[in-house]
Structure 1
Amino acid sequence: MDIKFENLKKEIAEMKNLFLPDYANPFVLRTDASYTGIGAVLYQIGEDGEHRPIKWASKKLTPTETRYVISEREMLAIYWGLKRFEYELRGGKFKLETDHKALLEI
């Protein structure tokens, strides 16, 4: 699997607490895709600079989705993450993070 995806999974596994959202501050949505699944984490940056995870989710790709090229899988992860956390993100400011360079220009 992709090293960055594995690092994201490790980071999520090491998180000890989930935090309540602070709607006065912007959110960060980080997404990633691998050959078999996609994932997203919604967090905020605390006053101490720490990442404060609010929610995370992952999904196994369907056989059809596994045949997508990597750019399509990464875009699917973004779309899915936006839909998954729509309630928290709607109407507020947020930053989207992806490691896929081709999508950074969009």
Structure 2
Amino acid sequence: MSVFRTKNYTEEELGYPTEAYGRIPSFANREEEAAFWDTHDLTEFDGVELHPVEVTIGGELAERLTLRLDAEDRAELARRARAKGVGPSTLVRMWIKERLDQEATAKP
């Protein structure tokens, strides 16, 4: 799934709030669920029946943009990307998408 090329889904479209499932609690939103899974592992929930889901993967990114950075900024970008577990270009795409979405929803 290419989260950088798809629309931003509402919490409702993503199925929030969720219902509790066995010992897995309900979640009001993505942030709450992410915080839970940051401190838990699926192996802690033996006996919970899992169901397969279908995921659509986005196509290739076709447009290229060249950006010049000084060495210090490039190193900082790489450090922040590593901390998030993504590559530098992915992090920049995330930031650009976030800003474009902010601008689109900003009041004039």
Per residue, is there more strand in 1 or in 2? 1
Bigger share in helix = 2
TM-score bucket (shorter structure) = under 0.3
Higher Rg: 2
